[in-house]
Amino acid sequence: MVDGKDDKDKLQEEQKSESEVTQDTEKTAEKSSETKPSDKTDKDSPASSDDDASKKDDSDKEAATASKDDASSAKSAKEEETVTSTGDTSSNDKAEESEAPDVEPTSAMVSDTGEVKTPKSARQAIEPETPPPPPTRSKAVRHPIVVFMNFVITVVLLAVIGIGGVLYYGKQTFIEEGPLKQEKTILVSGGTGLGTIAEILERQNVISDQTIFNYGVQIYRQDTKLKAGEYLFSPGVSMMQVMQILTSGKSILHSVTVPEGYTSYQIHQVLMDNDILMGPLDEIPAEGTLLPETYKFARGTTRKEMVKRMADAHDRAVAEIWDRRAADLPLKTPEELVTLASIVEKETGKASERTRVAGVFINRLNQGIRLQSDPTVIYGIFGGKGKPKDRPIFRSDLDKKTDYNTYQIPGLTPGPIANPGRASLEAVANPSRTKELFFVADGTGGHVFSETLKQHNDNVRRWREIEKQRIEAAKQKETESSEGGDQEQPAE
């Protein structure tokens, strides 16, 4: 531990040494100034005076430099004595250190060239040194192969960065909102390639860039999954959504409705009149083999495909209903079920009457009574084309023998007279349990049912009056002459 008194003595000695150095410097300066007057008096010869003046200036500079060096050396010596004297506890130790012999320079004080380094002052120690020059490039770095490899690596890195930027831009464009402003329908025909589809979509303003769409679909590996059809695209749909719509196959669905009770000829006409269905339909399907319903289809569906769908739907419905039929029906095959259902279908248009009409025919078959159904008479005469609406059924029609006239033949007709719907098939498979054997039209689109012949005849007379009124109203609209004899009266 350093004593405070020793520190004070040390400080006084330092101040005393500095004052002595200052006094030595002043004395040196005075000596140099005393020599100047003698120099000035010696002006007899100009040349010698000039030489003397230059010598004086040189001696003055040397004296000033020497004084500065003495001062700095004294100050450095004091600083070294101060540093080395830290921790000393007596002034006697300082005296011994000042009288110590000169120290041989160590390896740390010798430079690489063998010169002895001069100890630095505190200010010189903190000043930055001049940095060494940079090392020269190795010959291996300047080798052509190394230069070429550096070039290749740079090109590859730039290419990777460029490709990454392109992919990022393409992905953002692929998923962002598209340019479409309002709904648009696009038809994609079968066999159309991805490139053609992309071109159509861009031309119709559904997508903004067919190239990005083309590559995007391929990157997602959906190029072989695009389906033909008619598609509806909403405003602002993105390329990603367009791809999903085209691969889902959820195209716009159109519909065709076949009314229940239509003959195969009439169904053929419906399909041929539809301008969305494609392809010919040369043959009229067999009667009673199609199921009347409303069918959905995409643009591009052929008429033959639609007929097959109707036939398949018919077969499934008949098989399902036949399995659920009543056990005591006088019907032996599913075809007989369809035949009787077609007669029921043509007899009534009211859903509430179907099971009741079916029950009357089942009762007649069970009792061996002829069905006496007017629609069978019409089909036997006009076939699938049907009777003109303004033509009534005459007595001669009922007496005319045909394969389908159930006034003349027992039991069922040889085959269906129309294509019955599911409801009529269900009605025949599970008819109403009644004793009714007769029914006749009531003039309102329905029928009046009866169990006895007397009740039925009364109902027929009422119907005849209604029918006469209709015929008279039709005659007023006709412009045909009455030539050719008396017109035949309608049948009951």
Q: Domain containing 202 — which CATH number? A: 3.30.1490.480
Same domain (yes/no): 337, 222: no
* pLDDT for residue 215: 92
Cβ 353 vs Cβ 447: under 8 Å? yes
Look at residue 129 and tell me if it is in a domain: no
Q: Which of 197, 218, 248 is the last residue of a domain?
A: 248
- Among 221, 248, 275, identify where a domain stops: 248
Last residue of a domain, one of 200, 225, 248: 248
Tens digit of pLDDT per residue, the chain (492 long)?
444 445 555 556 655 555 555 555 555 555 554 444 444 434 344 334 444 444 444 545 454 444 444 444 444 444 444 434 444 444 444 444 444 445 455 554 555 555 555 666 777 667 777 777 777 766 666 678 877 888 889 889 998 888 888 888 888 888 999 999 999 999 888 889 999 999 999 999 999 999 999 999 999 999 999 998 889 999 999 999 999 999 998 888 999 999 999 999 999 999 999 999 999 998 999 999 999 999 999 888 899 999 999 999 999 999 999 999 999 999 999 999 999 999 999 999 899 999 999 999 999 999 999 999 999 999 999 999 998 888 888 889 999 999 999 999 999 999 999 999 999 999 999 999 999 999 998 877 889 999 999 999 998 888 888 878 877 877 777 756 555 545 555 555
Same domain assignment for residues 364 and 464: yes
Residue 12 lies inside a defined structural domain of this protein: no
Same domain, 346 and 237: no
The tokens of 333 are what? 């095959």
**Residue 55: inside a domain:** no
Amino acid at position 408, single letter: Q
Pair 353, 238 in one domain: no
For residue 342, give its domain range. 333-477
The reported pTM is 0.60
Kind and range of the H or E run holding 474:
helix 453-477
Q: Which residue has the tokens 């300047």?
A: 142
The answer to the question of residue 363 being in a domain is yes
Nearest-CA neighbor of 250 among 235, 228, 220? 228
Instruction: Specify if 206 maps to a domain.
Output: yes
- The full DSSP string for 343-401 is HHHHH---GGGHHHHHHHHHHHHHHT-----HHHHHHHHHGGG---TTPPPBHHHHHS-
Decide if 219 is inside a domain. Answer: yes
237 and 359 part of one domain: no
Domain-embedded: residue 13: no
User: Number of structural domains, the chain?
Assistant: 2
10 located within any domain: no
